[in-house]
Amino acid sequence: MAIHKRYALGRGLDALISTEDVRPQGSSTINEIPLEQIEANPNQPRREFDEESLQELATSIREIGIIQPITLRQVADQRYQIIAGERRWRASQLAGLTAIPAYIRTIKDENVMEMALVENIQREDLNAIEIALAYEHLLANTGMTQEKVSERVGKSRTAIANYLRLLKLPAQVQMALQNKEIDMGHARALLSIDSPSLQIKLFKEIQRNNYSVRKVEELVKQLKNGEEITSGKKRISGASQMPEEFTALRQRLSDFFSTKVQMTCSAKGKGKISIPFANEEELEHIMSVLDKMKE
C-alpha cells in the first residue's frame, strides 16, 4: 500500500500515516502524560508492591526525575492503560508528580504501519527518538531482525543499533533529543557513561552551558577516568564510574610515578591505564622509574 499524501512531520509517527484503514489515535513517540489519565492494567500479574521500595523510588524520582519512560496504550480519549511501568507510575504519584514521560502504543494494523515506517523512516526531518522507536517497533512487532531492518531501510546495522541505544537514555534526555535541544553527538557521548544519574547531571550542564559535542566528549572522558569536573559552581565526580578498588589502585600508581595516572575500568574489570606526561623531563622520570623496576 503506497502513501499518497505527504503529511507535516514532527508530530509523532502517527502524523506520517495516510491510509483509509488505519488512523492511530495517539503518538508513537515520547510524551508527557497526566497521571490522572493513566490506569493500571487489570491483567497485570503483579498485585503487590513493596511500600518501602516504592518510597525509595519516589525519593529518587523527586531528585533526578524518571529515568525510563513507562509504556502505555490508548484505550479511550485521554485515557491510557499501562503496558509496562506500573511501579514507576505509582512512585511518581508518591513523589507528587502530575505527569510522567511515556511511550504511547496505539498502532492496530501492524502490516500497514510497517510499510509506512519503512517508507518514512528515511525522511531527514524525523527526530532521532522517532526513528529509534520506529526501529524498535519493527523489531518487536514484525519479527524482523536488525539485519533485515537494515536491508529494508537502507541503513547499516551499526546505525540502527546506535539509534536503539538512545532509548536507554533517561527520559528527560530523550525528550530534549526529540525537541532538538541536544543532538545525536551529545546523546552518544552521554551513552558512554554507565550511570543514569551521572548522565542526567552532565545533561543539565550541557543545557546550562550550551556545551559543544566535543566539549561533552572531553568531560565524559574525564568522568570515565574517575576524575572530578567543575562546571561553574558545580562539581561532578566520576569516581563512581570505577569500582572502589580500582580508584585506589589508580591513586597508588599516580603516587608511584609522580604524575596523574589515568584509568578506565568497567565493573567487569576491563579497561586501560595511561600515564600522561607534560614534557620531556616528565617522560624521562617515568622511564627511569620503569627502568628501576627491572633491576
Question: Looking at the predicted structure, is the pLDDT value of residue 106 above 80?
Answer: no
CA dist., res. 292 & res. 228, Å (int): 32
CA dist., res. 95 & res. 92, Å (int): 5
Nearest to 164 by CA among 202, 191, 142: 191
**Would you state the pLDDT for residue 244?**
63
CB contact at 8 A, 187 and 169: yes
Those residues whose C-beta lies under 8 Å from the C-beta of residue 57, and which sit 6 or more positions away, are 87, 88, 91
The sheet carrying 99-105 orders its strands as 30-34, 99-105, 70-76, 79-84, 38-39
CA dist., res. 108 & res. 173, Å (int): 29
CB contact at 8 A, 121 and 131: yes
Q: Which three cell numbers stand for residue 41?
A: 492494567
Compute the average pLDDT of residues 195-210: 89
Q: What b/e sequence results for 67-102 when a residue is b if at least 16 CB atoms lie within 10 Å of its CB, and e otherwise?
A: bbbbebebeeeeebbbbbbbbbbbbbbebebeebbb
Nearest to 28 by CA among 127, 96, 97: 127
Compute the average pLDDT of residues 244-270: 71
CB contact at 8 A, 225 and 238: yes
CA dist., res. 66 & res. 95, Å (int): 11
Question: Looking at the predicted structure, is the pLDDT value of residue 278 above 50?
Answer: yes
**Would you state the pLDDT for residue 16?**
34
**Would you state the pLDDT for residue 273?**
80
Question: Looking at the predicted structure, is the pLDDT value of residue 234 above 80?
Answer: no
Return the top range by mean pLDDT from 10-24, 93-107, 132-146, 167-181. Answer: 167-181
Q: Which three cell numbers stand for residue 19?
A: 491510509
Nearest to 29 by CA among 120, 143, 97: 120
Residue 259: pLDDT band with limits 50, 70, 90: confident
CB contact at 8 A, 240 and 201: no
The rounded mean pLDDT for the chain is 76
Q: Which three cell numbers stand for residue 157?
A: 546495522
CB contact at 8 A, 213 and 186: yes
**Would you state the pLDDT for residue 267?**
53
Catalytic residue set: 86
CA dist., res. 71 & res. 69, Å (int): 7
Note the helical H segments in 29-156: 51-64, 86-94, 110-120, 128-141, 146-153
Question: Looking at the predicted structure, is the pLDDT value of residue 26 above 70?
Answer: no
- Pick the more confident residue, 131 or 246: 131
Compute the average pLDDT of residues 254-273: 70
**Would you state the pLDDT for residue 116?**
55
**Would you state the pLDDT for residue 20?**
32
Question: Looking at the predicted structure, is the pLDDT value of residue 220 above 80?
Answer: yes
